[in-house]
Amino acid sequence: MNAPAFDQEAFKLATRNQWEKSARGWNDHTPQIRAWLRTATDAMLDMAGIRPGSRVLDVAAGAGDQTLDIAGRVGPRGSVLAIDLSAAILEFAQANALRAGHRNVETRVADGERLRVEEAGFDAAVSRLGLMLFPDPLRGLREMRRALKPGGGVCTMVFSKPDANPCVAILMSTALKHAGLPPRDPYQPGGLLSLGKPGLIDELFRTAGFRDVATTRIDAPFGLPSTQAYLDFIRTSASPIQQILGKLDAAAAQAAWTEIEERLDAFRTASGWEGPNELLLTAGRR
Ligand SMILES: C[S@@+](CC[C@H](N)C(=O)[O-])C[C@H]1O[C@@H](n2cnc3c(N)ncnc32)[C@H](O)[C@@H]1O
What mean pLDDT is predicted for residues 82-92?
98
Which pLDDT score is estimated for 248?
87
- Cβ of 85 closer than 6 Å to ligand 1, yes or no, is yes
Which pLDDT score is estimated for 3?
59
- Cβ of 134 closer than 6 Å to ligand 1, yes or no, is yes
Residue whose C-alpha is closest to residue 145's, from 153, 137, 136: 153
Q: What is the pLDDT of residues 225-255, one digit of tens each?
A: 999 999 999 999 987 888 888 888 899 999 9
Q: pLDDT tier at 54 (50, 70, 90 boundaries)? A: very high
Report the C-alpha gap between 94 and 89 in whole angstroms.
9
Where would I find the beta strands (DSSP E) of the chain?
55-59, 79-84, 105-109, 122-128, 148-159, 211-219, 222-224, 268-269, 272-275, 278-285
In a mutational test of the pocket of ligand 1, which residue from 8, 9, 12, 15 has the highest number of ligand atoms less than 8 Å from its CB?
Answer: 15
- Which amino acid is located at 211 in the chain? R
- Cβ of 65 closer than 6 Å to ligand 1, yes or no, is yes
- Cβ of 143 closer than 6 Å to ligand 1, yes or no, is no
- Cβ of 132 closer than 6 Å to ligand 1, yes or no, is no
Ligand 1 atom showing the smallest separation from residue 112 Cα: 20
